[in-house]
Amino acid sequence: MRLVAAIISVLVFLIVKKIKKGPVTGFDVALIIFGVCLSMIIIFTQVISLYTAPTKSMFPTIKPGDCFVELLCRYGLRVPFTTRWLYRIKPKRGDVITFYIPEAFVSQWRWWRKERTKRIVGMPEDEIMMKNGKVYINGITLYEPYAVYIGPSKSYAKSTFTKKDNWDKPIKVPKGEYFVMGDNRNNSEDSRHFGFVPLDYITGKVVFIIWPPHRIGLIY
Supply the mean pLDDT for the chain.
Answer: 81
What is the rounded distance in angstroms from the CA atom of residue 126 to the CA atom of residue 138? 6
Q: Per-residue confidence at 212, pLDDT binned at 50, 70, 90?
A: very high
Residue 162: pLDDT above 50?
no
Please compute the mean of the pLDDT values over residues 45-57 and round it to a whole number: 82
Amino acid in position 14:
L
Tell me the pLDDT band of 95, cut-offs 50, 70 and 90. very high
pLDDT for the residue 106 = 47
Closest CA to 120 of 96, 89, 100: 96
174-211 exposure pattern, b = at least 16 Cβ within 10 A, e = fewer:
eeebbbbbbbbbbbbbbbbbbbbbbbbbbbbbbbebee
pLDDT over 90 at 161, yes or no: no
pLDDT band at 89 (very low <50, low <70, confident <90, very high): confident
Helix (H), strand (E) counts: the chain: 3, 14
Residues across the chain? 220
Residue 26 confidence class, pLDDT cut points 50, 70, 90: confident
| 148 DSSP 8-state letter | B
Confidence category of residue 72, pLDDT binned at 50, 70, 90: confident
CB 77 within 8 A of CB 85: yes
The segment with the largest mean pLDDT, out of 32-41, 72-81, 164-173, is 164-173
Higher pLDDT, 46 or 124: 124
User: Average of pLDDT values for 174-187?
Assistant: 94
Does residue 205 contact residue 95 with C-beta atoms inside 8 Å? yes
* Whether residue 176 has pLDDT greater than 90: yes
123 or 158, greater pLDDT: 123
| Residues 85, 81: Cα–Cα separation, whole Å | 11
- Higher-pLDDT residue of 24, 77: 77
Helix (H, G, I), strand (E, B) or coil at 125: coil
pLDDT digits (tens, 9 = 90+) for 103-156: 654 444 444 457 889 999 999 999 999 998 899 999 999 999 999 988 776 665
What pLDDT is stored for residue 110 in this prediction?
45
Instruction: Give the pLDDT band (50/70/90) at residue 25.
Output: confident
193 neighbors 63 (Cβ within 8 angstroms): no
